Amino acid sequence: MMSEATMQKSGMRSAALVGRGNLFGRGLRALANSRELTLLVLIVLLSAGMAIVYPNNFPTAYNMSAVLLNAAQASILVTGMMLLMIAGAFDLSIGSTLALAGVMAAVAFTWWGWPTIPSILVGIATGAVAGLVNGYIVTRVQINALITTLATMAIYRGGTQLISGTGIMSIGDSFKAYGQVVFLGFQSPFWVALLVVVVGWWAVARTRIFRQFYFIGGNARAAQLSGIRVNRLILLGFVIMGALAGLAGVLAAARLNSAVVSAGIGVELSVITAAVLGGASLRGGEGSIIGGVLGVLLIALVQNALIINGVGVFWQNIIIGLVLLLAVSLDRFKQTHRG
């Protein structure tokens, strides 16, 4: 044990020496130590660079509002995904859940003639039930999250098509207002996302119930033996994820005034990308809501910058993939230089 401690100490010392001699290395290490800080710096650098190169296109109220509107849906989703990933799980069915929830809200409003608010609640509840099913299968039937949500991704999408065919168009004015109303220059999805993110951030950082997700992801067996109700909490995580996907689906339907069955295709991958960028790992136990949201913002900014630069959509995908790999290699750097 003694030798271990000395080794550790000498490791730290040599790391400190390297750091003093090498300003670049030290800066990189500080950056790598906080994922949130890394992302913030990247976001500021990218914004500053874009503002200098494209002063007429980038730093405009219109462009900023568009970027944030784009980021709103992913921010809502990443809040739930981050929670699941902290516990070591994830949900691939969110895109399908989103479409199903949008259609169900539109069904309640147009076919059943329900008032707006209850229709919206139908959409969110649909999402929560979809999440409950995922969580039940994962925790009680004990099928892993990958297989379970891969299957329900197909099932929920198919169900959506069965219910509505190609979708429900022109839902109605009082419904669409919830997705289109502008307040202080930003459309409503931005404000809803802000609320979700702030509440989620606070809850995961401070409340007992959500702190337990870090224990589960860190060591599920030890968590169980610490009296933490692992299965119950993972189930809760899936229900929250589903409800948030439902909320995002309702907002998307309201914004477009139509619930389309192809809504949210592929969104699970970009949300997981943002979460990993924001510090989540597939092993669990790591990450924060704010990290996930910064990941979403960085991706939205990169996309915006590429569009302004006139870069084609294929290149956008390639560049986002490269950004993800870069972020994860920073983690490797951090691990090998921890001493």
Partner 1 sequence: MSAAGAGSERLVVADCSKSFPGVNALTGVSLTVRAGEVHALLGENGAGKSTLGKIIGGVYPLDAGRISLDGIDITGIDERQAGHLGIAIVHQEGSLVPTLSVAENIFAGHAPTGFLGMVDRRRMEQRARELLERLGSNIDPRAAVRSLSSAQAQIVEIAKALSREVKLLVLDEPTAALTQAETARLFEVVRTLRSRGVAIIYISHRLVEIFELCDTVTVLKDGRVTGDRAVAQTSPDELIRLMVGREVLFARVETPPAGPVRLRVEHLAARPFVEDVSFTVRAGEIVCLAGLIGSGRSETCEVIFGARQPTGGTIELDGKAVTHTGPWDAIAAGVAMMPEDRKDAGLFLERSIVENVSAAVLEKVSPSGIVSERASEALAQRFIEALKIATPSSRQLVGNLSGGNQQKVLLAKWLAPDPRVLIVDEPTRGVDVGARAEIYRILRDLRDRGLAILVVSSDLPEVLTLADRILVMANGRTVGELEGATATEEAVVRLATRHATSELRGAA
Neighbouring residues of 235: CB distance < 8 A, sequence distance ≥ 6: 132, 135, 136, 138, 139
b/e sequence 77-109, b meaning 16+ C-beta within 10 Å: bbbbbbbbbbbbbbbbbbbbbbbbbbbbbbbbb
Q: How far is the CB of 35 from partner 1 (least distance, A)?
A: 15
Asked if residue 224 binds partner 1 (CB under 8 A), the reply is: yes
The separation between CA 169 and the C-alpha centre of its own chain, rounded to angstroms, equals 28
Instruction: Return the closest-CA partner of residue 90 out of 36, 151, 144.
Output: 144
Site string for partner 1, 268-307 (x = CB under 8 A): -----------------xx---------------------
Q: How far is the CB of 145 from partner 1 (least distance, A)?
A: 21
Beta carbon nearer to partner 1, 207 or 262? 207
Beta carbon nearer to partner 1, 25 or 218? 218
Which helix (H) or strand (E) element contains residue 167?
strand 167-168
Instruction: Return the closest-CA partner of residue 213 out of 280, 271, 166.
Output: 280
**Angstrom distance (rounded) from CA 129 to CA 318:** 35
Most distant pair of Cα atoms in the chain: their distance: 74
Residue 39 CB: number of other CB atoms within 10 A?
Answer: 25
Beta carbon nearer to partner 1, 211 or 306? 211
C-beta pairs of 20-29 under 8 Å, 24+ apart in sequence: 28/333, 29/333, 29/334, 29/337
Beta carbon nearer to partner 1, 209 or 282? 209
Q: How far is the CB of 214 from partner 1 (least distance, A)?
A: 7
Asked if residue 199 binds partner 1 (CB under 8 A), the reply is: no
Q: Which of 8, 166, 174, 329 is the binder for partner 1 (CB under 8 A)?
A: 8
Beta carbon nearer to partner 1, 223 or 274? 223
Q: Which of 5, 23, 141, 313 is the binder for partner 1 (CB under 8 A)?
A: 5
Beta carbon nearer to partner 1, 140 or 229? 229
Beta carbon nearer to partner 1, 2 or 61? 2
3-state class of 260 per DSSP?
strand
Q: Which of 225, 318, 322, 328 is the binder for partner 1 (CB under 8 A)?
A: 225
Beta carbon nearer to partner 1, 56 or 142? 142
- Which tokens go with 108? 């309640």
Q: How far is the CB of 203 from partner 1 (least distance, A)?
A: 9
Site string for partner 1, 149-188 (x = CB under 8 A): ----------------------------------------
Residues 204-223 that bind partner 1 (CB under 8 A): 206-209, 211-212, 214-215, 218-219, 221-223
Residues 27-46 that bind partner 1 (CB under 8 A): none
b/e sequence 172-210, b meaning 16+ C-beta within 10 Å: eeebbebbbeeeeebbbbbebbbebbeebbebbeeeeeb
Q: Which of 64, 198, 228, 319 is the binder for partner 1 (CB under 8 A)?
A: 228
Residues that bind partner 1 (CB under 8 A): 1-5, 8, 206-209, 211-212, 214-215, 218-219, 221-229, 285-286
